[in-house]
Chains A and B, each alone.
Chain A
Amino acid sequence: MNDTLAGWLQILALVAALALCHRPLGDYVAHCLTTTRHLRAERLVYRTGGVDGDAEQTWPAYMRSLLAFSAVSVLFLYAFLRLQNHLLLSLGMKPVAPDLAFNTATSFVTNTNWQAYSGESAMGHLVQMAGLAVQNFVSAAVGIAVVAALIRGFTRKRTHHIGNFWVDLTRIVLRVLLPVAFVFALVLVAAGVIQNFHGAQALTTVAGDHQSITGGPVASQEAIKELGTNGGGFYSANSAHPFENPTGFTDLVEIFLLLVIPFALPRTFGTMVRDRRQGYAVVAVMALIWAASVTVVTINELHSVSSPAGHAAGGMMEGKEQRFGIWSSALFAVSTTLTSCGAVNAAHDSFTPGGGGLLIFNMMLGEIAPGGTGSGLYGILVVAVIAVFVAGLMVGRTPEYLGKKLGSREIKFASLYILSTPAIVLVGAGIAMSLPGEQKAMTNSGPHGFSEVLYAFTSAANNNGSAFAGLQANTVWYNTALGLAMVFGRFLPMVFVLALSGALARQRPVPVTAGTLPTHRPQFVGLLAGVILIVVGLTYFPALALGPLAEGLH
């Protein structure tokens, strides 16, 4: 089987699997978010936490719960990392330095999983399992909780209540993430991913070198790493490491896992707003951008070859795993940068300027095609609010989306959302580039060096977590700056989404008439995709011009 056929088969299998799961998974999540019945395990959780599972929260209360939970999570994880040498299964690892511990704690709590450390040489098993992996579950659940609250803003009428954060969080973890991750951990184990508690094993390679390889509970972490669009690898090499991702099959499973929830949530949305067509329109926009990006990056990596060695390899093989090849590396890279996952099976730094530039652009889109678990859907819905506002004016009515009017309150919060992430990215990268001392962290010069810094802040603020490699980011300044970028990039938008939800829930819905802008037709799909590309393109064009464009255009 040649590479092209294998590549196509992989894409087809992936799309088929995602399409198959779209309806049942989407409807199941909708059921979990709307049912009034609690499981026994959930009641136990509520009782332990002193939460009334039947109480509803206003948006400020929902926000306070969410922020408090996340703050405690950061503190807990920080302590964990600082004290790991006193704990079981530490494998003799030293305490993590304060700045790196802050960076890592915020990174995992914000669902970013930016890693300024090497897992195998810095983290013991207990930290990996009880610290990092727990956040992999709950940070993903927090994202879905926020989108649940936003959808309720659309579906509810004349109320101040948008759900209960604790209930949403508990249900998503217990009913959705845990069972699915458990099943796929077994699948991964069966396919060759390791799962043990071994420490470092010394061995001699064929060439006669000595190597020390750490074992660990990898498969269990690998499943939720992808499923929760977290992306923090057990090993530094992430999904390029043979213990995390040994074969083409596991590679496909991992790509599937990181896409499956984000692509199913629009169905949840359609089901909850009782108009499935609305969900299809949203998923169509996501799929359109994803497919276009896969196409462009794959073509770029296959054909932008300058060296004879490249021709022999059939494309840009630098930085890509031989067992995955161009097709699968491009597919993985696009999927991980469009989902806020950030797991990698190749070095993004080594992609062609065009391909690598598009990976940055993918993240700049705001992680909405399909985006992170929950965050992708709320991100695209906020852009939809802006698109509907402008388009709605053009049909001669006060714009309304799903029966809710988009007045100054709604537009204020949506605008703040759209504003916040680019501001963090550009201001962060701007400060980094004006500090001569911090420029030492760049291992490359010229536009490529700048691309690395831009990539780092784009990745952090958009909660992606993948890196362009070249940047030596484990410095006090970068750990702190990127940590702050992750915190603000995660929670500022969330606050605005919850505020938007509150503003929407207060309204009485407007009936749909022939004069209402239809938001389920191909027309709207095209409009929304256009607004996303133009708004993002205009915001980042100057910065991209000095990075990937300057590098790529000769």
Chain B
Amino acid sequence: MADSLPRHQPHRVSGGLLDPRQLLASFPDAVRKLDPRLMVRNPVMFVVEVGALLTTLSALKDPGVFPWVIAAWLWLTTVFANLSEAVAEGRGKAQAETLRRARTHTTARRLTDWRPGAEAPPEEEVAAAELQLGDHVVVEAGQIIPGDGDVVEGVASVDESAITGESAPVIRESGGDRSAVTGGTKVLSDRIVVKITSKPGETFIDRMIALVEGAARQKTPNEIALNILLASLTIVFMIAVITLQPFAIYAKAEQSIVILVALVVALIPTTIGALLSAIGIAGMDRLVQRNVLAMSGRAVEAAGDVNTLLLDKTGTITLGNRQAAEFLPVQGVEADELADAAQLSSLADETPEGRSVVVLAKWRHALRARGEGELEGAEFVPFTAQTRMSGVDVDGRSIRKGAAGAVTGWVTDRGGRPGDEVHDITERISQSGGTPLVVAVDDADGARVLGVIHLKDVVKEGIRERFDELRRMGIKTVMITGDNPLTAKAIAEEAGVDDFLAEATPEDKMALIKREQAGGKLVAMTGDGTNDAPALAQADVGVAMNTGTSAAKEAGNMVDLDSNPTKLIEIVEIGKQLLITRGALTTFSIANDVAKYFAIIPAMFAVAHPGLDRLNIMKLHSPTSAISSAIIFNALIIVALIPLALRGVRYRPSSAAALLSRNIWLYGLGGLVLPFVGIKLIDLAVQFVPGLH
């Protein structure tokens, strides 16, 4: 009942917090990354490193406080950049350690000749690492499952906490969509036979370790494009500074190598250059923190671009079961009377539908649920497939509740006349996508129908607002359901999805994905069954549920360890947040340059052209303090922004135009203004350093 639920709260995608100790712990890694062979992969920071080397040589040749200050801070700038990457990787490494512990070297009990139904086939002991594709192994309570596979025989409860972090055991059984088991997890009860589906060294845990450690990390298409732009800007600024020297010599204001290097470093986009790779790693990490494993960074980026979301109705849009929503009495019957009868008939009904009738009566009509023992001499009639109704006989009254045909038949048999009205009501409910349950009574007044209970799918709370948000983000939602079109339409309208696919077969799903993609759209979906696998592979973002089959997990490019289909929406938001963080910091980085010019240019040339001192609008103390302040600001801003890079910028779902305005004001204008303040403050401090005045 969406209207009675608490108002939907705006939510926020957030990442883990940054522990200052992580910074210290990652410091040695950051220094190790100064190796030029590693640095060269990041052109912007490589230029800074070369600049640091040049200034150091210059300081050695021509010692002084100023050259040493610049050299030291340029080295720090490089280290800070590496630090951001090291911290981002460090978090993954911790996770990988936990996973490694799960990958103990077990021995497997391989069945050499297993056939379905075979009694006690011969078995042999082998190392888990020797298992080949298609081998069958038997695992019993207390043993570790030696490799990824599908259960082909038996049912067992399995502790998957090593992977999911969730301590409650899960059921894995042969056949169906809950057959996949993961190597390294532990069987808690019973005995299962598992068919191995992964090669040694390529198990799910192995891949997870590689992913969270960032070993498998490749630059994503978007990251490459941004890198090209940053490299071009770096070249432009290097040309601008290198050609400045002949102009300066002509103006009789030749500059030292230290100052020229300082100017280059101040201008090139070091802030984003330093944080770019940390942003990418942290994006993957934010997914891992939500128990989602993305098989590639490309998939995370694609999630941000998604135009169409295919969502399974059950579990994503609606709660798992139908619930009583309304009591509709026939003419001449009070609603309270119907509710009372309905509640009595459902007291022994332990199905979710039955309990929902009791709850609705209590909530709408203030009828306290009576315990079974409270009713003297009550005789409960359980539901059977033959009668298709349930009920109770108490105080000389017989109450029945069930499918329309069955209950009206019961009334007619007892001499009552159900009347056309009942038919009208049930028809109306069916058309609106609900399920009618007719309630009838047989007492002193004879057998008659009291009314109808309207059972319907209950749309999850807040889901409508979620879809509104998605619509504002330009994402179309399509509900996938096995229901008939009538029911599907009603639920689709209530939930506020844009479109639905009723009586959906895997082929229909596949066709829908291909149709959307043909129009240039990117499609995301979740799935768990083997028959979902082709669609998962076809979708641009396919999130497989961890409870699903290995075929599904193999086909998707993400796995949700919590098996929560609603998470697809969060995944999209994380993808967007990743791109926004990159764009915002790029804007910030470039906007910073304006203030740096106003600090450095007058410092360089005010001696030769005193008029240029009017550009010193920050009234910085001296040329050396001005240049030092700009470089120190440039280095410190990297450290200051590491938390933002790891957490991602704040993202609220809204239209592109609104998002852009907000981010331009915040990061564009902020990037313009902040360094003026920062450089001035640093200048106020460094002017007291002897040698910088």
A residues near B (Cβ < 8 Å) are: 386, 389-398, 403, 406-408, 410-412, 415-416, 418-419, 422-423, 426-427, 429-431, 433-434, 439, 447, 450, 508-511, 513-518, 521, 523, 527, 530, 534-535, 537-543, 545-546, 549-550, 552-554
Q: For residue A386, which residues in chain B have a CB less than 8 angstroms away from its CB?
A: 229
Stretch touching chain A among B134-142, B233-241, B343-351, B440-448: B233-241
- Among residues of A, the one whose C-beta sits closest to the C-beta of B219 is A408
Which B501-532 residues sit within 8 Å CB-CB of chain A?
A: 519-521
Distance, CA A534 to CA B521, complexed state (A): 34
Number of interface residues of B (CB under 8 A): 74
Say which residue of A395, A447, A521, A540 sits within 8 Å of B251 (CB atoms): A447
**How many Å lie between the Cα of A397 and that of B583 in the bound state?**
10
Beyond known contacts A434-B249, A549-B611: 14 more, CB 8 A cutoff:
A391-B660, A391-B664, A393-B582, A398-B305, A415-B229, A450-B247, A514-B472, A517-B660, A523-B661, A527-B664, A538-B267, A543-B240, A545-B615, A546-B609
One digit per residue, 1 when the CB lies within 8 angstroms of any chain A CB and 0 when it does not, for chain B 563-601 equals 000000000000111011011101100110110010001
Please tell me if the beta carbons of B657 and A521 are within 8 angstroms of each other in the complex: yes
Chain A residues lying within 8 Å of B263, measured Cβ to Cβ, are 542
Q: For residue A419, which residues in chain B have a CB less than 8 angstroms away from its CB?
A: 232, 235-236
With contact pairs A430-B246, A545-B601, A550-B251 given, residues A397 and B240 touching in the complex (Cβ less than 8 Å) = no
A516 vs B471: C-alpha distance when bound (angstroms):
12
Which positions in B face A, CB cutoff 8 Å? 221-222, 224-226, 228-229, 231-232, 235-237, 239-251, 263, 267, 301, 304-305, 307, 471-476, 519-521, 575-577, 579-580, 582-584, 586-587, 590-591, 593-594, 597, 601, 605, 608-609, 611-612, 614-615, 651, 655-657, 659-661, 663-664, 667-668
State in angstroms the CA–CA spacing of A509 and B232 once bound together.
27
Interface contact A395-B659, CB-CB below 8 Å = yes
From B245, B476, B651, B667, A396 is in contact (CB under 8 Å) with B651
When distances are taken between beta carbons in the complex, the residues of chain B under 8 Å from A523 are 657, 660-661
Report whether A427 and B590 are in contact in the complex, using a CB–CB cutoff of 8 Å: no
Q: Which residue from chain B places its CB closest to the CB of A507 in the assembled complex?
A: B520
Q: With A391-B660, A422-B236 in contact, do A538 and B587 touch (Cβ < 8 Å)?
A: no
Is A543 in contact with B247, judged by CB distance below 8 angstroms?
yes
Q: Known: A391-B660, A517-B660. Is A545-B612 also a contact (CB below 8 A)?
A: yes
Cβ distance A430 to chain B, nearest Cβ, rounded Å? 3
Given contacts A423-B236, A538-B237, A542-B601, contact A396 B243 (CB under 8 A): no
Contacts of A514 in B (CB 8 A): 471-474, 655-656
Determine if A415 and B605 form an interchain contact, defined as CB atoms under 8 angstroms apart.
no
A392-B614 Cα distance, complex, nearest whole Å = 37
Given the contacts A447-B609, A534-B591, A542-B244, A393 and B580 also touching, CB distance less than 8 Å: yes
Determine whether the beta carbon of B586 is less than 8 Å from that of A395.
no
Asked whether, in the complex, the Cβ of B615 is within 8 Å of the Cβ of A553, the reply is: yes
Question: B675 to chain A: closest CB distance in Å?
Answer: 13
A199, chain B: closest CB distance, angstroms: 44
In the assembled complex, the Cα of A517 lies from the Cα of B305 at a distance in Å of: 12
Q: Which residue of A lies closest to B597 (CB)?
A: A541
**What would be 5 A-B contacts, judged by CB atoms less than 8 Å apart?**
A433-B247, A439-B250, A514-B656, A538-B590, A550-B611
Among A429, A430, A542, the most chain B Cβ lie within 10 Å of the Cβ of A542
* A396 contacts across to B, CB distance below 8 A: 304, 473, 575-577, 579-580, 651, 659
- CB contact under 8 A between A516 and B611, given known A540-B240, A542-B244, A546-B248: no
In-complex Cβ contact of A427 among B243, B301, B583, B597 (8 A): B243
Q: How far is the CA of A431 from the CA of B243 in the complex (A)?
A: 8
Is A408 in contact with B228, judged by CB distance below 8 angstroms? yes
- For the complex, what is the distance from the CA of A516 to the CA of B657, rounded to whole Å? 8
Contact among B231, B239, B307 with A426 in the assembled complex (CB-CB below 8 Å): B239
Judge whether A415 and B228 touch: CB under 8 Å: yes
Known: A426-B240, A426-B243, A534-B594. A515 touches B656 (CB 8 A): yes
Chain A residues contacting B587 (CB-CB under 8 Å) are 390, 394
Given contacts A412-B228, A541-B597, contact A394 B580 (CB under 8 A): yes
**Would you call B243 and A543 a contact (CB within 8 A)?**
yes
Q: For the complex, would chain B's binding face be called helix, strand, loop or mixed by DSSP majority?
A: helix
> Is the CB–CB distance between A543 and B660 below 8 Å?
no
When chains A and B are docked, how far (Å) is the Cα of A552 from the Cα of B251? 15
> How close is B630's CB to chain A, nearest CB, in angstroms?
14
Q: How close is B602's CB to chain A, nearest CB, in angstroms?
A: 8
State A397–B476 Cα separation when bound (angstroms).
15
Instruction: Check A539–B580 contact: CB distance below 8 A.
Output: no
Q: Which residues of the other chain, A, contact B594 by a CB distance below 8 angstroms?
A: 534, 537-538
Bound-state Cα–Cα, A395 to B582, Å: 10
Tell whether A418 pairs with B236 under 8 Å between CB atoms, given A390-B583, A430-B242. yes
Decide if B582 touches A397 in the complex (CB within 8 Å). no
**How many Å lie between the Cα of A418 and that of B587 in the bound state?**
17
- Contact: A408 with B221, CB < 8 Å? yes
**Closest A residue by C-beta to B244:** A542
CA distance A415 to B234 in the complex (A): 11
CB contacts (< 8 Å) of B583 on chain A: these are 390-395
- The distance from the CB of B676 to the nearest CB of chain A, in whole angstroms, is 15
Task: Determine the residue in chain B with the shortest Cβ distance to A419.
Answer: B232
Shortest Cβ gap from B568 to chain A (Å): 16
Q: Are A430 and B243 in contact (CB under 8 A)?
A: yes
> CA of A323 to CA of B520 in the docked complex: distance in angstroms?
60
Contacts of A411 in B (CB 8 A): 225-226, 228-229
Closest to B663 in A: A394
Q: What's the least CB distance linking A511 to chain B, in Å?
A: 5
Q: Contact: B660 with A395, CB < 8 Å?
A: yes
Min CB–CB distance A428 → chain B (angstroms): 9
**Cα distance, A447 to B611, chains bound together (Å):** 12
Alpha-carbon gap, A426 to B248, bound state (A) = 13
Q: Is the CB of B664 within 8 A of A393?
A: no
Residues A518 and B656 in contact, CB atoms below 8 Å apart: yes
B256 to nearest A CB, angstroms? 15
Given A391-B583, A523-B660, A427-B239 contact (CB < 8 Å): yes
The CA of A543 and the CA of B251, in the complex, are separated in Å by 11
Contacting residues, chain B, for A510 (C-beta < 8 A): 307, 520-521
Quick one: given A511-B519, A534-B591, are A550 and B605 in contact (CB under 8 Å)? yes
Residue A538 contacts which of B226, B473, B597, B609 (CB distance < 8 angstroms)?
B597
In the bound assembly, the distance between CA atoms of A389 and B587 in angstroms comes to: 11
Specify which of A513, A527, A546, A553 is in contact with B474 (CB 8 Å cutoff): A513
Q: Compute how far the CA of A543 lies from the CA of B579 in the bound complex, rounded to whole angstroms.
A: 35
A554: nearest chain-B partner, CB-CB: B611
Q: How far is the CA of A540 from the CA of B492 in the complex (A)?
A: 57
CB-based contact A538/B251 at 8 Å? no
Q: How far is the CA of A397 from the CA of B578 in the complex (A)?
A: 9
Known: A416-B232, A527-B664, A538-B267. A398 touches B301 (CB 8 A): yes
Residue in A closest to B610 when the chains form the complex, CB atoms: A554
A517 vs B473: C-alpha distance when bound (angstroms): 11
Contacts A390-B586, A511-B519, A514-B472 given; does A429 touch B243 at CB 8 Å: yes
- Least distance between B460 CB and chain A CB atoms (Å): 23
Q: Which residues of B contact A408 (CB under 8 A)?
A: 221, 224-225, 228
Which residues of A lie under 8 Å from residue B229 when comparing CB positions? 386, 389-390, 411, 415
Q: With A415-B228, A550-B611 in contact, do A518 and B590 touch (Cβ < 8 Å)?
A: no
Instruction: Name the residue in A426, A510, A537, A552 with the highest tally of chain B Cβ atoms < 10 Å from its Cβ.
Output: A426
Among A416, A419, A427, find the residue whose CB has the most chain B CB atoms closer than 10 A. Answer: A419
A546 touches B605 (CB 8 A): yes
Residues in chain A near residue B246, CB distance under 8 A: 430-431, 433-434
Residues of B within 8 A of A431 (CB): 246
